[in-house]
């Protein structure tokens, strides 16, 4: 193992963080009150009861059911700003220097909240995070794969100006993975890319879904990064491809345990990724739900991969910098 202080001070980049997944119970209930939002009768009614529920989820869908109810309390531009600022405040104390942040506009537009309201709140927080904490940021707009392709095409079209001016730096694909293979969203990705050749592309694949979803995301969506991707280890040829192309996997250790993708962090195939030279970063996914922010994920991996020395950790941190969608100047600064 390495010292916890070393991991605390190590400059860290996060590439897999859903802003809506940073909604802590102690913000959820006040926002519900502030916005007069009634939560379903079946939803826990106190912070304690909700925290209790978050100790374990059956699977990804069980978590998503709570996650989408949580999003209902976000209404005003200020709510989105406050949510993101709470996240930045926490991780600024954990050695985070760069964050690439997912958000799910469709979970808000379906309730009549405009894409511009959501994006403006999150983007204003990003600007303040740079100013107040020196954290650089990128926003990644996700398509919800449980919705329909026409709905996703509508979202991409409505985001045209934000994609063109770079406010939206990347496109992602999330929500229930298994019955929705990445290739379904091929036209959505190519349309988005046609708006701005500098747009970056990633997709959740190989979390609950098989390695073929990872290959298909590379082949059909032209992504340059894979979110989760741990099931890539089912296919040795795919591992070679990821290593050769320097395609980074954004791995989320505590998430995988809470969603019962694996039974403990030590069972993640991280040593196999290291041995095959596949770049990966460590991330928190939905930290309010999964019991830990970025540093907590690093610390848990350190405990369960005690064979890793300082050089291994420095290489992981470097790969995270190199896999970030930032300028060479910013890479050198970090
Ligand atoms: N939405 C928020 N977190 C997610 C995850 N881990 N997988 C798929 N969709 C998500
Ligand atoms: Zn995720």
**Which-ligand-closest: CA of 175?**
1
The mean pLDDT of 273-302, rounded to a whole number, is 98
**Which-ligand-closest: CA of 101?**
2
Which residues does ligand 1 sit against, CB inside 6 Å? Answer: 18, 21, 60, 67, 174-175, 204, 207, 255, 285-286
| Rounded Cα–Cα distance for residues 136 and 125 (Å) | 11
Task: Ligand 1, residue 228: give the atom nearest the CA.
Answer: 6
Active-site residue, from 20, 24, 207, 208: 207
Q: What is the pLDDT of residue 206?
A: 97
C-alpha of residue 326 to centroid of ligand 2, in Å: 21
For the sheet with 96-103, list strands across it: 12-18, 96-103, 136-144, 170-174, 200-205, 225-228, 248-251, 280-282
Quick one: pLDDT band at residue 26, thresholds 50, 70, 90?
very high
Q: What is the pLDDT of residue 166?
A: 98
Quick one: pLDDT band at residue 107, thresholds 50, 70, 90?
very high
Q: What is the pLDDT of residue 313?
A: 98
What percent of the chain stands above pLDDT 90? 100
The alpha carbon of residue 56 and the mean position of all alpha carbons in its chain are separated, in whole angstroms, by 19
- By most ligand atoms within 8 Å of CB, the mutation choice from 15, 57, 62, 64 for ligand 1 is 64
- Tell me the three state secondary structure of residue 104: coil
C-alpha of residue 176 to centroid of ligand 1, in Å: 7
The mean pLDDT of 77-98, rounded to a whole number, is 98
| Orientation angle between helical segments 186-195 and 211-221, nearest 10 degrees | 40
Is the reported ipTM for this assembly greater than 0.90?
yes
Quick one: pLDDT band at residue 235, thresholds 50, 70, 90?
very high
C-alpha of residue 109 to centroid of ligand 2, in Å: 20
Quick one: pLDDT band at residue 57, thresholds 50, 70, 90?
very high
| Rounded Cα–Cα distance for residues 164 and 24 (Å) | 33
Return the number of other C-beta atoms located less than 10 Å from residue 1's C-beta. Answer: 15
Structural domains of the chain in order of their starting residue, each with its CATH number: 4-333 (3.20.20.140)
The mean pLDDT of 289-302, rounded to a whole number, is 98
- By most ligand atoms within 8 Å of CB, the mutation choice from 145, 204, 252 for ligand 1 is 204
Mean pLDDT of the chain: 98
Q: What is the pLDDT of residue 4?
A: 98
The mean pLDDT of 112-140, rounded to a whole number, is 98
User: Is 151 assigned a catalytic role?
Assistant: no
The alpha carbon of residue 78 and the mean position of all alpha carbons in its chain are separated, in whole angstroms, by 22
Q: What is the pLDDT of residue 228?
A: 98
The mean pLDDT of 208-224, rounded to a whole number, is 98
What is this structure's pTM?
A: 0.98
Q: What is the pLDDT of residue 91?
A: 98
Provide the residues around ligand 2 (an ion) whose CB is within 5 A: 285
The mean pLDDT of 107-114, rounded to a whole number, is 98
Q: What is the pLDDT of residue 197?
A: 98
Tell me how far CA of residue 202 lies from CA of 15, 112, 162, 218, 319, in angstroms. Answer: 10, 27, 17, 9, 17
CB 280 within 8 Å of CB 270: yes
On the 0-12 / 13-18 / 19+ scale of CB atoms within 10 A, 92 is middle
Quick one: pLDDT band at residue 250, thresholds 50, 70, 90?
very high
Q: What is the pLDDT of residue 184?
A: 98
The mean pLDDT of 195-202, rounded to a whole number, is 98
Place of tokens 């954290």: 135
Q: What is the pLDDT of residue 180?
A: 97
pLDDT in tens, 164-181: 999 999 999 999 999 999
| Orientation angle between helical segments 186-195 and 149-158, nearest 10 degrees | 10
Quick one: pLDDT band at residue 58, thresholds 50, 70, 90?
very high
Quick one: pLDDT band at residue 261, thresholds 50, 70, 90?
very high
């Amino acid at each position: 193992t390495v010292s916890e202080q070393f991991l605390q001070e190590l400059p860290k980049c996060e590439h897999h963080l859903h802003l809506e997944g940073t909604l802590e119970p102690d913000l959820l209930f006040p926002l519900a009150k502030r916005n007069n939002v009634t939560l379903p009768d079946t939803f826990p009614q106190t912070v304690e009861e909700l925290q209790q529920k978050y100790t374990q989820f059956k699977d990804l869908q069980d978590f998503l059911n709570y996650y989408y109810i949580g999003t209902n309390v976000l209404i005003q531009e200020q709510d989105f700003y406050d949510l993101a600022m709470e996240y930045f405040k926490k991780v600024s104390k954990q050695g985070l220097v760069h964050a690439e942040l997912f958000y799910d506009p469709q979970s808000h537009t379906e309730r009549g909240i405009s894409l511009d309201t959501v994006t403006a709140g999150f983007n204003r927080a990003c600007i303040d995070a740079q100013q107040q904490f020196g954290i650089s940021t990128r926003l990644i707009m996700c398509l919800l794969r449980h919705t329909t392709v026409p709905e996703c095409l509508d979202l991409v079209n409505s985001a045209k100006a934000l994609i063109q001016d770079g406010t939206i730096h990347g496109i992602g694909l999330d929500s229930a993975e298994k019955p929705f293979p990445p290739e379904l969203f091929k036209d959505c990705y190519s349309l988005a890319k046609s708006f701005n050749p500098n747009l970056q592309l990633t997709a959740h694949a190989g979390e609950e879904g098989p390695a073929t979803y990872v290959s298909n995301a590379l082949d059909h969506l032209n992504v340059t990064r894979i979110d989760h991707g741990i099931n890539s280890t089912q296919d040795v040829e795919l591992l070679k491809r990821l290593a050769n192309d320097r395609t980074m996997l954004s791995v989320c250790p505590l998430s995988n345990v809470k969603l019962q993708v694996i039974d403990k962090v030590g069972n993640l195939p991280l040593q196999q990724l290291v041995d095959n030279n596949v770049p990966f970063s460590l991330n928190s996914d939905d930290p309010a739900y999964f019991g830990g922010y970025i540093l907590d994920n690093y610390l848990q991996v350190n405990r369960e991969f005690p064979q890793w020395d300082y050089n291994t950790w420095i290489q992981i941190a470097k790969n995270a910098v190199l896999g970030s969608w930032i300028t060479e100047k910013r890479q050198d600064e970090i």
